[in-house]
Amino acid sequence: MDAHETVRRDIAHLLSEQRLATLSTCNAQGHPYASLVAFDVTPDLAGIVFATSRATRKFANLMDNNHAAMLVENSRNLKSDIYEAMAVTALGTISELSGTSQETAVAHYIRKHPHLTKFIQAPSTAVLQMAVDVFYLVNRFQKVMEYHVGRKADPAAGRDPAG
């Protein structure tokens, strides 16, 4: 397996095995905020789906600025994490899903997080998707690889929450 395939496999594995990600957003004044979200990843790795109440600060920040980062990692709070843990940082833009895109994403999301069915289906919840520009995979403490995912254009995929 070449390096390209290895990195893609490692990213896909981490994103499918982990349930929570740290979402970093920024408001219009440039103030940062970090929060924990339950996420799901699309099979092509191009999108990361999560949900939040429209009343949350992260949603407000995304209304101001749809650029965000998400961190997913598998540390176990052990000393050996420093060389055993793996982390993926995804950078991209976030939009709210609607219509069939939302239905497909929610169905997939519920398979990973069945206990969050009511939460994601609530009228006050926004279903959001990060269109990933780039992943940074960090392992062995300091090795960092940059993986660019090609995005397939899908005009119906959703609307820009800031737009």
Kindly list the residues in this chain that would bind another protein in the complex (CB under 8 A).
2-4, 7-8, 79-80, 82-84, 136, 140-150, 152
Considering the complex, what minimum distance in angstroms separates the CB of residue 142 from another protein?
5
CA dist., res. 81 & res. 134, Å (int): 24
Considering the complex, what minimum distance in angstroms separates the CB of residue 14 from another protein?
16
Rg, the chain, Cα only: 16
Considering the complex, what minimum distance in angstroms separates the CB of residue 3 from another protein?
6
| DSSP-derived pairing of the beta strands 47-53 and 20-26 | unpaired
Phi-psi group of 8: left, alpha or beta (phi > 0 → left; psi -120 to 50 → alpha; rest → beta): alpha
For another protein, the closer CB: 46 or 51: 46
Considering the complex, what minimum distance in angstroms separates the CB of residue 135 from another protein?
10
The answer to whether 51 touches 120, Cβ cutoff 8 Å, is yes
Two tokens at 46? 């191009």
Considering the complex, what minimum distance in angstroms separates the CB of residue 86 from another protein?
12
For another protein, the closer CB: 29 or 80: 80
The 10 Å Cβ neighbour count of residue 69 is: 18
Place of tokens 């520009």: 133
For another protein, the closer CB: 108 or 151: 151
For another protein, the closer CB: 10 or 64: 10
Provide the sign of the torsion angle of the four alpha carbons 138, 128, 19, 48, taken in this order: negative
For another protein, the closer CB: 13 or 31: 13
